[in-house]
Chains A and B, each alone.
Chain A
Amino acid sequence: MGKIAIIGYHEVPTQINPERTRWDIAEEVIIGAVKNAGIDKDDVQGFINVAPQAQPDLISQTAFGLLPEHFGFKNVKDNVICNAGGASTTNCVRMAEQWITSGMCEVVLVPHITVQSDIPAEDLITFFAKAPMHQEWEFPFGMTFNGAMALITQRYMHETNSTEEEVASITHALRDWGARDPYSLFHNKPKSTEDVMGARMISTPLKSVECNMLADGGGCLVIASEEYAKKHCKNPVWKLGHGSDFLGGTPIVREDIFWREGYRKSCGEALAQANLSVEDIDIHEIYGAYPFTQASYLEANGICEPGEGARYHAAGHTKLGGKTPCTTIGDATGRGHTGSGVSMAFYCQVARQLRGEAGENQVEGAEKVMMVTSGGSGMNTLATIWGK
C-alpha cells in the first residue's frame, strides 16, 4: 500500500483528428475519469494540469482555472499547471502526492489534452525543432530533435557494436505492442524489422517509423489519499516509489548521453523506496520516445549486460510473452506522440495493466510496474513504481 493511488483514469485513443476539439477531449477524459473512479465530482479538491506543448492558448486557459470552472467542480482548493515536457505527468502526480500527504486535498484530478493536428505543419516543425534544441548552439547547424537522437543512436551503435537492424528491432517490438492496442495511432499496423529498415530515412540511422509522429490525444487521472482510496475504491493502483535524476538541458553538453546513469539513479531510488529489487518488476514501461532509450534502460538496470540492450530486444525478450515485457504502450513510436501527454498515456496504461484491463496486451499476473518518463530532449529521467 502506498500513500496515494490512481483510483480512476480515462483516455481517448491517440489519433490525428483535427475535427476533435480540445474541449471535446477535455469533456470526455475528465467526466470519464471521475465516473471510472466512481466518486462524486465534488469530492475533487485539486486540479494539477499537464501543460500541453505548442498550445499557448490552452496553456493559459488551464493555468488560469478554466477547466474546474467549466465543469462546475465546487470544492476545488487550487488549480495549477505543470510543465516538464514529457515528464510533466510524473511531476503532476508527485505534486498531487504532496497536496494529499500535506493534508490539503484528498482527491486530485490530473488532466491532459493535446490537439496538434490543427496546427500548421510548418509551425509544428519549427516549434519542435526549436523548443528542445539550443537556439544558439544546435539549431543553426540543422540540428533537429530527430537529428540529436540520431547522433546518440550512432554513438550507441559505435560503442556497443549494435547493428542498425538490432536497433530497428526495438521499433518492431514497440509497434508489435501498438498494433494490438486500440488506443494506439498504429492499431492493426505492425511493422517487422524489415519494414522498419525499409522506411524512409530521416536522420541516419533513424528511419521515419523510428521517429515520432505527432498526434492528438488526452487523458485524465484521479489521484486519492490512502484513506480515501481504501474507503471508496475497489481497485486502486498504489504508488510505491519514486526516483529522479536531472541529466542536463542540452544534448551536446550532457555527460550521460545514453541516459544510462539517469536510469540507474532514478530507478535505483524508486526501487529502494518501494523496498523492491528489479527482479520483482513484472512490466517496465519506458517513455524515452526514441529506440536507444529502451536499450539504455535495460543496461542501466542490469536486466541485460552493458551494451546488449538492442540485441536483448532483437531476441524478442521484451515482447508479450517474453521474459521482460517492456513498454506495453509501444512508446511514442508505437503509439503516436501527444506532446507532453505521452507520459499521461503511460500512466493510463499502468492502471490498465495492474487492473487487468489491458486487453490483448495484458501481461498475465502483472503486480508491479516500473515506469520512467523524460522531458525536453531528455533532460531528466523520472521513475515511479506502481502496484495493486
Chain B
Amino acid sequence: MSDMKRPLPAISPESKPFWDAVQQDKLLVQHCNSCDTNIFYPRRICPECWSKDLGWVEAKGTGTIYSITTTYLGTTSEFTKELPIHVAYIDLDEGIRMASNVVGVGAESAKIGDRVEVEFVKANGDFKLPLFHLIEE
C-alpha cells in the first residue's frame, strides 16, 4: 500500500493534535473537560456545552463496524489504483463514530457488527491515515 496517493485531509489548528498523533501511531479523541463528552470530529468549542476547555484522550483503537460499503467506481482519480475500496463507519469504543477504511485480511467480507482495530497506514508520502483491520474476539 506504500504507493497510495490519497488526498490529504485539510488540517486545521484544532485538528492538528489528532493528525500529529496519528503520525506517531496514536489515535486521539477530543474530550470536553467541562461536560465530560467525547467529541468527533475535533472542533474549537464543545458542541454540547460550548466550553473551550478541551483536551484529548488516547483511544484504545478498537471499535465495531456500524456500516460498510465496497466502492468500485466514482471516487476521484487519487483512489483509482486502490479500487475496490472498503469504506466504513467505525464506532470506536470511546463512543464516537468515524469514517475510515477496512483493510487487510478478510476486508472484502467484513460486515456490520465485526470488531476492528486501528492501524496507521502511509497514505501519501510519509503521511499516515488511521485505517482499520478485522480482529477476532
Contacts and interface: CB of A to CB of B under 8 A. Distances in A.
CB-CB nearest 5 A-B residue pairs:
A150-B69, A155-B67, A151-B67, A136-B9, A203-B71
Given A125-B75, A129-B75, 17 more contacts: A134-B41, A136-B10, A137-B98, A140-B8, A142-B82, A142-B87, A143-B87, A150-B69, A151-B87, A154-B67, A201-B72, A202-B72, A203-B71, A211-B74, A252-B97, A253-B41, A253-B97
A201 B83 CA distance: 12
A125 B71 CA distance: 14
Interface string B71-91: 111111101001001011100
B11 A136 contact: yes
A281 interface: no
19 contacts: A125-B75, A130-B76, A134-B41, A136-B41, A139-B7, A141-B87, A142-B79, A142-B85, A142-B87, A144-B74, A146-B74, A147-B69, A151-B68, A154-B69, A155-B67, A202-B71, A208-B73, A211-B74, A252-B89
B123 A140 contact: yes
A61 interface: no
A253 B6 CA distance: 23
Interface residues of A, number: 36
Contacts of B8: 140
A204 interface: yes
B112 interface: yes
A95 B72 CA distance: 41
Interface residues of B, number: 37
Interface string B95-132: 00111110000000000100000000001000001010
Contact of B88 (A122, A136, A146, A151): A151
A129 B77 CA distance: 11
B41 A147 contact: no
Interface string A286-307: 0000000000000000000000
B58 to A, nearest CB: 19
A314 B48 CA distance: 41
Interface in A101-160: 122, 125-126, 129-130, 134-144, 146-147, 150-152, 154-155, 158
Contact of B99 (A125, A143, A204): A143
Interface of B: 6-12, 15, 40-41, 66-77, 79, 82, 85, 87-89, 97-101, 112, 123, 129, 131
A167 B9 CA distance: 33
A125 B76 contact: yes
B55 to A, nearest CB: 19
B98 A126 contact: no
Which of A126, A146, A253 counts the most B-chain CB atoms under 10 A from its CB? A253
A150 B88 CA distance: 10
Given A154-B69, A158-B112, A137 B9 contact: yes
Contacts of A139: 7, 9
B1 to A, nearest CB: 13
Contacts of B71: 142, 144, 146-147, 150, 202-204
A358 to B, nearest CB: 33
A157 to B, nearest CB: 9
A200 B95 CA distance: 36
Given A155-B112, A253-B41, A137 B74 contact: no
Contacts of B89: 151, 155, 252
Contacts of B76: 122, 125-126, 129-130
Contacts of A208: 73
A151 B100 CA distance: 12
B69 A137 contact: no
A137 B87 CA distance: 12
A138 B69 CA distance: 14
Contacts of B131: 141
Contacts of A143: 87, 99
A140 B7 contact: yes
Contacts of B79: 142
Nearest to A136: B9
B103 to A, nearest CB: 11
A203 B98 contact: no
A10 B57 CA distance: 57
Contacts of B87: 141-143, 147, 151, 203
A122 B77 contact: yes
A136 to B, nearest CB: 4
